[in-house]
Amino acid sequence: MAERWRPVWADIDVDAVAHNASILSGLAGPAALCAVVKADGYGHGALSVARAALAGGATWLAVALVEEGVALREAGVDAPILLLSEPPVEAMPEAVARRLVPSVYTHAGLRSLGKVVGDGGFPPVGVHLKVDTGMHRVGSDAQDVASLAQTIADDGALRLDAVWTHLAVADGAGPDDRDFTALQLDRFEATLDRLAAAGHRPPMTHAANSAGTIAVAAARRDMVRCGIALYGVAPTPALAEELAALTSGRRLRPVLSLRTRVTFVRELDGGERLSYGRVRSLARRSTVATVPIGYADGVPRRLFDQGGEVLIRGVRRPLAGVVTMDQIMVDCGPAGSAPVEVGDEVVLLGGQGAEEITADEWAGLLGTISYEVLCGIGPRVPRLVGRGEGRHPT
């Protein structure tokens, strides 16, 4: 409905997803590639991304929530799906029934999971035991890992399939960041040694996120978990160059572009102040275009304050006033200097002509990260999946 009546949409290039998965799986090999598709595929559409990533070389998927895994299963996705956090007790039955792979890191979680498997008559469930090596978000303390592994071994309903951890600053370029990543990997190795001494040898270990996959060869291990890079955005510009150097010049391709069309055009005298707050005046008589997208769709209000631009007819045009909930206004230059018409395409993220505006550009202006930019694009923006000339709603 939104696609039909409001000219705002996000193009999703699934060929770019497959291309990016191919680059990452080739770099990480022989390690497996796990495509992280949580948060509705970072706002791109989890199902479309999952299918394209699997076609491009991923063999695993990862989600944050049991609900996200269930949605993929109901859509017919059969690949292994890792839950990146231990499921709540009340979600354990659904996780088991849907063949989701649980991460675990508490005795209470293991007891609950084992009971669900045993009482339900399910075959033994393989779990991935997560250890905290310094991120301090979730995960078992290193001194508790052997006890947890023994609990798994003692429960005939469970099986230890993997041990894993998460890197906090693999994208950092400073010596402190590099040292801390090395420390995390050393702590991980020490934990695995303690497990081996206790008779527990998991068949799989994994530690690398997108940054670790690119920058830290020792972190690739048996599997890598790639999120942001799968969507065509390197964790940092420096890592984009490092990836290209490691892959004979192959580069990630952005998957999402955010587009709309001009719905109203008028000329206004110099000195006129536009939008809420009348914050800034026009420097001269100008053509101003109104565009039907706003902060309810994921265009941050601060983008105006920080000098945000859009593309119209291949030219960068600055915002002319504060971003409103449903609309923005664009300064298209001195009146009569360049034709801008109702129906012209407007690009907020993506390319037009020789110009391109990236999620990294927005992140730099806004003092945030590209992940937040992409995940912030609202649900009322239709995602249109396409290859070449064809596209369809997700």
Catalytic residue IDs = 38, 276
- Rounded to whole angstroms, the Cα distance separating 120 from 112 reads 12
Exposure string of 279-289, with b = 16+ CB inside 10 Å and e = fewer, is ebebeeebbbb
* Torsion, CA 140, CA 146, CA 151, CA 152, rounded to 10: 80
> 63 with 72: CB under 8 angstroms?
yes
- Rounded to whole angstroms, the Cα distance separating 347 from 357 reads 8
Longest dimension (CA), the chain: 79
- Rounded to whole angstroms, the Cα distance separating 15 from 275 reads 39
Q: Which of 82, 75, 43, 87 lies closest to 59, judged by CA? A: 82
Q: Which of 125, 209, 192 lies closest to 161, judged by CA? A: 125
| Chain center to CA of 29 | 21
Q: How many CA atoms lie within 13 A of 329 on its CB side?
A: 22
Amino acid at 167: L
- Specify burial of residue 178 (Cβ count, 10 A radius: 0-12, 13-18, 19+): middle
